[in-house]
């Protein structure tokens, strides 16, 4: 195999805006987002770089992941990492896959991050998306970047499945059923009084740092939410409602319990006792703009400055199926933009990486821009009952987009009112 060449900082600068050069960041996704995992001066990644963590090289379909990110053999690929060894490992994989134009940049930490004039990008609210390493340090009382609170609660979220918690969880984590925060009859968030009570029962105040995660389990035969939906997406659903209610520091473990397992940290099976408190501390909802209901959703459909975004699968959007065994009516809300969650009502692969971490923000933003989802508009994401809508919301929230909400009732509430209009079939100009 021909020797893989290295290039210097000046070469990167000269080609930073070139369509020929494609920068590949193979550090952990958390470093790409903004965390300074090796004490570098500036967090984030080189402007325009794509995220392709070395961890993903362990997946048998690695080359398919590469191609799905638009990384093609004709590109001039430049790989950088924390170490030369990591860069070289990925470079060899590219070469083996017949990518001929591959080089390595070895001065990211000692030159690029040190020079404030060299362009970098960062996920706006990266600190709300934490790594397993960060959580482990939190538990062990170590000093942490972007954290100065003296009280925290780690929540293992699940839907009617405490067994998922009892068979293994992060040490010290309490369990939180999603039904504590949303009503089983409507799937909407609970009343302010009910939310207040639930938070107090779980020992959460508005000033508590809450770290949420979920766990993927094989579904029971009567499980209304098959495996993936009953896992980490439930944690993000809870996170959205907490932000709405007024918890000031809500964080999600990037990739859920799987990330904790992959990191090799201790797993506990104790049933941790919750420590109730007397008062949540603020009036709920402290951030009512986070959730919209039907009247506001109808206003947004008519507005040129707002979009209702349908985060459902294509078969649901065109009315081939409802997606849920408890929703009879099929179709979509007229005027809603198709935000394509993925294959079905229980998956969000179009918003996630292969390891269930949050998808690269630039990729999501580019897809959204093409279909008219832009940060200058008020956006309300919806799905069948609010779970997938909450995850799409969280993507936009992490990007720092200011006008983002969840239409909580979604298709379930909309379709239950026979006076509400609906559509089926393919809309003109909509891409599947």
Which two structure tokens, joined as six digits, stand for 136? 């482990």
Backbone angles phi, psi at 382, to 5 degrees: -145, 160
| Cα 364-288-306 angle, rounded to 5 deg | 45
Q: How many CA atoms lie within 13 A of 239 on its CB side?
A: 33
How many angstroms separate the CA atoms of 332 and 308, rounded?
A: 11
How many angstroms separate the CA atoms of 368 and 365, rounded?
A: 5
383 is catalytic: yes
How many angstroms separate the CA atoms of 296 and 292, rounded?
A: 6
CA distances from 303 to 52, 147, 375 (A): 39, 39, 15
Find, among 39, 24, 159, 120, the residue nearest to 81 by Cα. 24
Please say whether the beta carbons of 351 and 364 come within 8 A: yes
Q: Is 240 exposed, middle or buried (0-12, 13-18, 19+ CB in 10 A)?
A: buried
Going by DSSP bridges, is the β-strand pair 174-177/152-158 parallel, antiparallel, or unpaired?
parallel
Catalytic option among 155, 310, 341, 383: 383
* 387-398 helix and 361-370 helix, angle to the nearest 10 degrees: 110
How many helices (H) and strands (E) the chain has is answered by 14, 17
CA distances from 124 to 34, 118, 334, 352, 361 (A): 8, 18, 32, 17, 10
CA distances from 21 to 74, 103, 142 (A): 10, 10, 40
DSSP per residue, 21-36: EEEEE-S-HHHHHT--
Going by DSSP bridges, is the β-strand pair 120-121/45-46 parallel, antiparallel, or unpaired?
antiparallel
Q: Which helix (H) or strand (E) holds 44?
A: none
Per 3-state DSSP, the chain is made up of helix, strand and coil in percentages (nearest 5) of: 30, 15, 50
The residues carrying an active-site annotation are 383
């Amino acid at each position: 195999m021909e020797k893989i060449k290295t290039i210097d900082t000046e070469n990167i600068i000269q080609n930073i805006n070139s369509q020929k050069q494609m920068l590949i960041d193979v550090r952990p996704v958390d470093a790409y987002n903004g965390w300074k995992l090796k004490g570098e001066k500036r967090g984030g990644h080189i402007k325009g770089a794509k995220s392709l963590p070395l961890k993903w090289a362990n997946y048998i379909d690695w080359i398919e992941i590469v191609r799905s990110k638009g990384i093609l053999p004709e590109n001039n690929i430049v790989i950088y990492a924390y170490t030369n060894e990591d860069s070289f490992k990925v470079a060899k994989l590219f070469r083996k896959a017949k990518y001929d134009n591959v080089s390595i940049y070895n001065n990211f930490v000692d030159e690029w991050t040190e020079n404030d004039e060299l362009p970098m990008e960062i996920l706006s609210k990266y600190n709300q998306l934490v790594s397993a390493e960060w959580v482990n340090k939190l538990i062990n009382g170590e000093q942490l970047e972007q954290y100065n609170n003296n009280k925290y609660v780690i929540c293992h979220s699940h839907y009617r499945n405490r067994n998922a918690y009892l068979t293994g969880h992060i040490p010290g984590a309490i369990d939180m059923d999603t039904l504590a925060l949303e009503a089983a009859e409507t799937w909407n968030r609970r009343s302010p009084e009910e939310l207040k009570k639930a938070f107090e029962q779980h020992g959460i105040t508005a000033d508590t740092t809450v770290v949420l995660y979920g766990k993927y389990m094989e579904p029971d035969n009567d499980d209304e939410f098959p495996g993936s939906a009953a896992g980490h997406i439930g944690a993000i659903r809870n996170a959205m409602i907490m932000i709405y209610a007024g918890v000031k520091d809500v964080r999600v473990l990037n990739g859920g319990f799987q990330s904790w397992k992959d990191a090799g940290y201790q797993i506990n099976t104790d049933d941790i006792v919750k420590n109730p408190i007397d008062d949540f501390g603020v009036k709920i909802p402290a951030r009512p703009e986070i959730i919209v209901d039907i009247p506001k959703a109808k206003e947004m459909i008519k507005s040129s400055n707002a979009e209702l975004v349908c985060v459902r699968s294509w078969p649901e959007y065109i009315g081939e199926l409802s997606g849920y065994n408890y929703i009879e009516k099929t179709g979509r809300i007229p005027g809603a933009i198709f935000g394509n969650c993925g294959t079905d009502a229980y998956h969000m692969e179009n918003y996630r990486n292969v390891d269930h971490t949050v998808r690269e923000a630039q990729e999501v933003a580019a897809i959204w821009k093409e279909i008219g989802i832009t940060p200058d508009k008020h956006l309300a994401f919806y799905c069948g009952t609010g779970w997938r809508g909450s995850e799409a919301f969280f993507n936009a929230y992490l990007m720092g987009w200011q006008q983002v909400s969840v239409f909580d009732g979604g298709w379930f509430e909309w379709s239950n009112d026979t006076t509400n209009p609906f559509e089926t079939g393919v809309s003109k100009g909509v891409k599947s």
